């Protein structure tokens, strides 16, 4: 049975840097508060006219180049986002078109901050089943156009950023290489802890002027509840993945956690008893780019020479839903 290897990584972030200082112009917040509570120093926001599909295209071409492949070599696209360019159709088909290819399936996946880990699990199943050999997996997010930049929305607005990350996944028969296992979870009892009520197909019309005036189209979050669950679920699912493969935390060479909050990553690292150099953190520069954090962090780690052939790499995510999961792979 073939296994799934990551043969190329890439990312794209908008060139517009938004510092904490800039946010103080829009809302009552401070650089000290944001850095102390989240570790975030700056994030990127798109300029008018940039789409998720275009960011995804740029990240994808970077990953394809890294893999030594062309768009025409792909058998399928899996795209994860919670901020699609349009309500319909999904961003996946726009990406396919932007890449100049036709016919191959474009699968849109909604698992919020766990989107990349969920997507990797879906792609891995296709590859192991022998259905596809080369799959493009993308996490892309434009958060900036959907944030409440008034003081009312400050708890969320300071956290999120825009960006795209991509990975080329290829079937490999190479002994010992590739995805060892994937572990996905969800608990819908917490669906409204981090959510956006509108626009909603439950309502006719899907959005009203009143709902907008009340800001009910903006995401809302119980930050403490998210924090509490993230710091227990992430270590738990990493341990689950390790146990499934007869491995321990000491075997991990690199942990790439979803970048939700530096304090969350730090707590996860301590609970797993991992040294700092084994955990990738770049939230300081990009904020939380949701489905894009893991592929961006992975691509940067590869660029920085932090991943070597044979390394045991663990990707772990937690997010709205709640959804969470981990992937263990041999580089």
Angle at 290 between CA 135 and CA 97, to 5 degrees: 40
Q: Closest approach of Cβ 58 to ligand COA, in Å?
A: 24
Query: Active-site residue among 20, 134, 183, 258?
Result: 258
Does position 158 bind ligand COA by CB under 6 A? yes
**Interface with ligand COA includes 331 (CB under 6 A)?**
no
Taking residues 183 to 222 in sequence order and writing x for each that binds ligand COA by CB under 6 A, - otherwise, the string is -----------x--------------------------x-
The total of other beta-carbon atoms located within 10 Å of residue 120's CB is 29
> Residues near 296 by Cβ (< 8 Å), separated by ≥ 6?
11, 13, 139, 163, 164, 165, 282, 286, 289
Q: In this structure, are residues 11 and 296 in contact, taking their beta carbons and an 8 Å threshold?
A: yes
Token output for 302: 């590869």
In the annotation, is 113 catalytic?
Answer: yes
Rounded CA gap, 254 and 282, in Å? Answer: 14
Binding ligand COA (rule: CB under 6 A), the pick from 261, 265, 282, 323 is 261
Fill in the per-residue mask, 228 to 257: x = in contact with ligand COA (CB under 6 A), - = not in contact: ------------------------------
| CA–CA dist 101, 247 (Å, integer) | 41
Closest separation in Å from C-beta 160 to ligand COA: 8
Query: H or E stretch including 31?
Result: helix 31-38
Burial class from Cβ neighbours inside 10 Å (0-12, 13-18, 19+) for residue 133 reads middle
Active site residue 217: no
Least distance (Å) between residue 33 CB and ligand COA? 4
**Bridge-based pairing state of the strands 254-257 and 312-319:** parallel
For the question of residue 229 being annotated catalytic, the response is no
What's the closest the beta carbon of residue 139 comes to ligand COA, in angstroms?
A: 13
Strands (E), 69-223: 76-80, 106-109, 134-141, 163-172, 178-186, 194-195, 220-221
Distance (Å, rounded) from C-alpha 9 to C-alpha 109? 19
Among 22, 73, 75, 155, binds ligand COA (CB under 6 A): 155
Cβ-based nearer residue to ligand COA, 84 or 319: 319
Burial of 165 (0-12, 13-18, 19+ CB in 10 A): buried
Pairing of strands 76-80, 134-141: parallel
Site string for ligand COA, 77-106 (x = CB under 6 A): ------------------------------
Binder to ligand COA among 9, 29, 91, 134 (CB under 6 A)? Answer: 29
Q: How far is the CB of 290 from ligand COA (least distance, A)?
A: 7
> Which residues on neighbouring strands pair with residue 220, listed in sequence order?
195
Nearest CA to 327 out of 239, 229, 234, 241 is that of 241
Residue from the set 226, 274, 299, 315 that interacts with ligand COA by CB under 6 A: 226
Q: State which of residues 93, 110, 223, 249 lies at the interface with ligand COA (CB under 6 A).
A: 223
The residue within the footprint of ligand COA, chosen from 227, 232, 249, 306 (CB under 6 A), is 227
Smallest distance from the beta carbon of 137 to ligand COA, in angstroms? 19
Give the active site residues: 113, 258, 288
Residues in contact with ligand COA by the rule CB under 6 A:
29, 33, 37-38, 113, 154-155, 158-159, 194, 221, 223-224, 226-227, 260-261, 264, 288, 319
């Amino acid at each position: 049975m073939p296994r799934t290897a990551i043969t190329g990584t890439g990312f794209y972030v908008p060139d517009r840097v938004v510092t904490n200082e800039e946010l103080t112009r829009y809302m009552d917040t401070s650089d000290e508060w944001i850095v102390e509570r989240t570790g975030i120093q700056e994030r990127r926001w798109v300029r008018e006219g940039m789409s998720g599909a275009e960011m995804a295209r740029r990240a994808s071409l970077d990953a394809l180049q890294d893999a030594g492949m062309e768009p025409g070599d792909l058998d399928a696209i899996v795209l994860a986002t919670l901020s699609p360019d349009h309500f319909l159709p999904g961003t996946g088909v726009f990406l396919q078109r932007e890449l100049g290819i036709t016919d191959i399936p474009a699968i849109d996946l909604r698992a919020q901050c766990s989107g990349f880990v969920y997507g990797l699990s879906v792609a891995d199943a296709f590859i192991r089943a022998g259905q596809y050999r080369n799959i493009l997996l993308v996490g892309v997010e434009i958060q900036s156009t959907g944030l409440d930049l008034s003081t009312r929305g400050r708890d969320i607005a300071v956290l999120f950023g825009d960006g795209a990350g991509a990975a080329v996944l290829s079937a490999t028969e190479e002994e010992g290489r590739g995805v060892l296992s994937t572990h996905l979870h969800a608990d819908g009892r917490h669906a409204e802890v981090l959510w956006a009520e509108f626009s909603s197909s439950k309502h006719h019309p899907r959005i009203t002027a009143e709902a907008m005036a009340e800001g009910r189209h903006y995401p809302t979050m119980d930050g403490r509840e998210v924090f509490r669950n993230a710091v227990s679920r992430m270590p738990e699912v990493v341990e689950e993945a390790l146990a499934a493969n007869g491995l321990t935390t000491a075997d991990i060479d690199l942990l790439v956690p979803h970048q939700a909050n530096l304090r969350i990553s730090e707590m996860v690292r301590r609970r797993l008893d991992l040294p700092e150099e084994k955990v990738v953190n770049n939230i300081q520069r990009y904020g939380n780019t949701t489905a894009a954090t893991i592929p961006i962090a992975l691509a940067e780690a590869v660029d920085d020479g932090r991943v070597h052939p044979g390394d045991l790499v663990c990707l772990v995510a937690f997010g709205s839903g709640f959804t969470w999961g981990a992937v263990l792979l041999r580089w």
